Amino acid sequence: MYHERAAEETLDSMTHKITIETAALELPPLPISEIGYLQVPHKNKYGKDYPPVIEDQPTYPGGKR
């Protein structure tokens, strides 16, 4: 089981083995807790942190001040 904002321990505790017969089976929705989720900063395409934003610089190097 996987959920991007759930802790691994939470998902492990929700794991159950089931047997499905040929008859139609409807499973109820599973509420998944996001407690323990830590959002990490997004990295650039090289896996590095973005440089800090300096407020007094133009948006791009060729821009006017």
SS3 per residue for the chain: CCCCCCCHHHHHHCCCCCCCCCCCCCCCCCCCCCCCCCCCCCCCCCCCCCCCCCCCCCCCCCCCC
Per residue in 3-42, pLDDT (tens digit) is 667 777 877 887 778 777 777 777 788 777 777 777 788 8
Question: What pLDDT, on a 0 to 100 scale, did the predictor assign at position 48?
Answer: 92
pLDDT band at residue 60 using 50, 70 and 90 as cut-offs:
low
Whether pLDDT at 46 is above 90: yes
| Token pair for 21 | 């017969």
Question: What pLDDT, on a 0 to 100 scale, did the predictor assign at position 20?
Answer: 73
Question: What pLDDT, on a 0 to 100 scale, did the predictor assign at position 62?
Answer: 65
CA 49 to chain centre: 18
